[in-house]
């Protein structure tokens, strides 16, 4: 056991003075053991200043404790030069001392070579030791390699910059040979990521889909950690399941440009044909999806795109509009249903978010299943929440463009896509009829419209049955 003094200081000049100050009071015994006398400690305590009683110290001490430390005493003091210091006297299996810059300038750890005569280098991420390696050079190599494997540029993905988001430091320490990891070991540790398993207690009306969504996961990810569950399992309130998430040890932010091929969904134009029977529909012209290549600039943290801006769009094949002729009463029925739901508060409690023509219905159409209805509107036209609820997400969401998802409780959710602008943010409560966004054509949309979905217990249903 040795004692190690971990000092937090504010600036380089002060550091020298602390060293002088402590130099007189510290007696080096043996090679690397520092002692601080009880008297001087008492003086320090007397001048205790809470200036540095910050999370930083506490966090640092917890982490180190887990790895190496058997005892910690915290000290803070004000030096005669009127600067504030805080430190830790740590009894541990380490040899050497580490001097760390304070929260005022958290840029880099300042490893003082005079004190830190360790034989190894600790790689720390946000002040937590991730691995111990032989040398700082080896740490640098592994980090560079890791960044490189994550950011392979290609013709489709032009990575312009990549940088670690987390604070990374290298600290000189003394470690036992068996504690030192090889470059390959650390690289595979970084590549595999950190699997965090938590317990989740099933609530009333929970579904796998809801649990997945609330935890930023996919249903299949929830299932993979629970071998006893299948998609059809009945969940009992109070039942405990596992949620396993793999997070990177070090977050990376990328910026670049991507070029992707996208489908241009065809529009549906409905005309009223009074020669047709009530409710009958006849497809006059079969619609056909077009295609386009889209180049966008992006910012991405790990797997999540945080910013996206289309910089070039080229139509490679024009879509063909689907023309549907409808018998007259179909519209009347829809109108009556709509009025009824508004007047009496239908069973669903949902109302139409936007008044406008239905350009595309729910169901199969060429190229796939359309899981909502497209309500025609002009860019910038406001649309409203179909019912009161809580905004689960509001922001960019791939093909949906700017999208809002609202939870209305009882397993009912509604989604609003392709907006030009959003008027709400995630976590916000909204009232039925409140303006939540503005019609646009962001994401996969040929013209301005509102794509509106009704989701019940995790699956989409035909919205026209509910509004």
Residues 432-451 that bind Zn ion (CB under 5 A): 451
Is the CB of 133 or the CB of 386 nearer to Zn ion? Answer: 386
Judge contact between 74 and 86, C-beta under 8 A.
yes
- The full DSSP string for 276-332 is SPTT-EEEEE--B-EEEEEEEEEEEETTEEEEEEEEEEEEEE--B-EEEEE-HHHHH
Count the residues of the shown chain that bind Zn ion, applying the rule CB under 5 A: 2
Q: Smallest distance from the beta carbon of 449 to Zn ion, in angstroms?
A: 7
Please report whether residue 418 would count as binding Zn ion according to CB under 5 A.
no
- Shortest reach from residue 374's CB to Zn ion, in Å: 4
In the complex, the smallest distance separating the C-beta of residue 367 from Zn ion, rounded to whole angstroms, is: 12
Residue closer to Zn ion by CB (options 181, 451) is 451
Shortest distance, position 384 Cβ to Zn ion, whole Å: 18
Alpha helices in 215-256 (DSSP H): 219-224
Nearer to Zn ion, 169 or 374 (CB): 374
Is the CB of 96 or the CB of 265 nearer to Zn ion? 265
Nearer residue to Zn ion within complex by CB, 127 or 374? 374
When CB distances to Zn ion are compared, the closest residue is 451
Maximum Cα interatomic distance, the chain, rounded to a whole number of Å? 104
Contacts with Zn ion, 365-394, as mask; x by CB under 5 A: ---------x--------------------
Give least dist CB 69 to Zn ion, A.
58
Is 415 a binding residue for Zn ion by CB under 5 A? The answer is no
User: Cβ–Cβ contacts within 10 Å for residue 31, how many?
Assistant: 9
Residues 6+ apart with CB under 8 A from 332: none
Nearer to Zn ion, 123 or 358 (CB): 358
Q: Does 169 bind Zn ion (CB under 5 A)?
A: no
Q: Which residues contact 373 (CB under 8 A, 6 or more apart)?
A: 358, 360, 361, 362, 451, 452, 462, 463, 464
Residue 453 interacts with Zn ion (CB under 5 A)?
Answer: no
Nearer to Zn ion, 102 or 372 (CB): 372
Interior/surface letters 246-262, b for 16+ CB within 10 angstroms, e for the rest: eebbbebebbbbbbeeb
- 334, 340 contact by CB (below 8 A): no
Are 287 and 320 contacting, i.e. CB atoms less than 8 angstroms apart? yes
Strand partners, 7: 87, 99
CB of 291 to Zn ion, least distance (A): 17
Residues that bind Zn ion (CB under 5 A): 374, 451
């Amino acid at each position: 056991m040795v004692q190690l003094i971990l000092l937090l200081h504010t600036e380089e000049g002060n550091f020298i003075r602390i060293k002088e100050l402590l130099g007189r009071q510290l007696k080096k015994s043996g090679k690397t053991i520092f002692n601080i006398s009880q008297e001087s400690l008492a003086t320090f305590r007397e001048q205790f200043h809470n200036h540095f009683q910050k999370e930083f110290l506490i966090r640092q001490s917890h982490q180190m404790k887990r790895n190496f430390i058997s005892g910690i005493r915290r000290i803070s003091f004000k030096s005669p030069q009127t600067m504030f210091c805080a430190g830790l006297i740590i009894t541990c299996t380490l040899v050497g001392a580490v001097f760390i810059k304070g929260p005022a300038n958290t840029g880099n750890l300042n490893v003082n070579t005079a004190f830190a005569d360790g034989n190894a280098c600790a790689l720390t991420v946000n002040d937590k030791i991730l691995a111990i390696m032989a040398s700082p050079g080896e740490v640098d190599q592994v980090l560079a390699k890791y960044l490189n494997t994550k950011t392979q540029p290609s013709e489709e993905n032009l990575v312009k910059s990549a940088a670690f988001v987390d604070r990374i430091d290298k600290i000189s320490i003394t470690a036992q040979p068996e504690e030192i990891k090889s470059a390959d070991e650390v690289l595979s540790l970084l590549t595999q990521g950190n699997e965090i398993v938590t317990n989740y207690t099933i609530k009333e009306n929970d579904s796998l889909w809801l649990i997945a969504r609330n935890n930023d996961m996919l249903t299949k990810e929830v299932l993979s950690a629970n071998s006893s569950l299948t998609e059809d399992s009945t969940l009992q309130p109070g039942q405990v399941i596992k949620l396993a998430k793999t997070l990177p040890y070090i977050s990376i932010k990328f910026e670049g440009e991507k070029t992707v091929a996208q489908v241009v969904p065809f529009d549906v134009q409905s005309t009223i044909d009074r020669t047709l029977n009530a409710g009958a529909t006849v497809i006059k012209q079969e619609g056909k999806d077009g295609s386009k290549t889209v180049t966008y600039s992006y910012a991405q943290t790990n797997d999540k795109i945080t910013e996206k801006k289309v910089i070039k769009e080229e139509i490679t094949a024009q879509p063909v509009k689907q023309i549907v002729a409808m018998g007259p009463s179909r519209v009347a029925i829809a109108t009556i249903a709509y009025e009824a739901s508004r007047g009496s508060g239908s069973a669903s409690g949902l109302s139409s978010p936007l008044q406008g023509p239905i350009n595309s219905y729910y169901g199969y159409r060429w190229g796939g299943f359309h899981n909502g209805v497209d309500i025609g509107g002009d860019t910038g036209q406001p649309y409203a929440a179909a019912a009161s609820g809580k905004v689960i997400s509001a922001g960019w969401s791939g093909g949906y463009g700017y999208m809002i998802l609202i939870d209305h409780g009882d397993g009912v959710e509604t989604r609003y896509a392709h907006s030009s602008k959003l008027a709400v943010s995630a976590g916000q409560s909204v009232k039925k009829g409140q303006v939540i966004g503005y019609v646009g054509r962001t994401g996969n949309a040929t013209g301005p419209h509102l794509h509106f979905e009704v989701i019940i217990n995790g699956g989409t249903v035909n919205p026209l049955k509910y509004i």
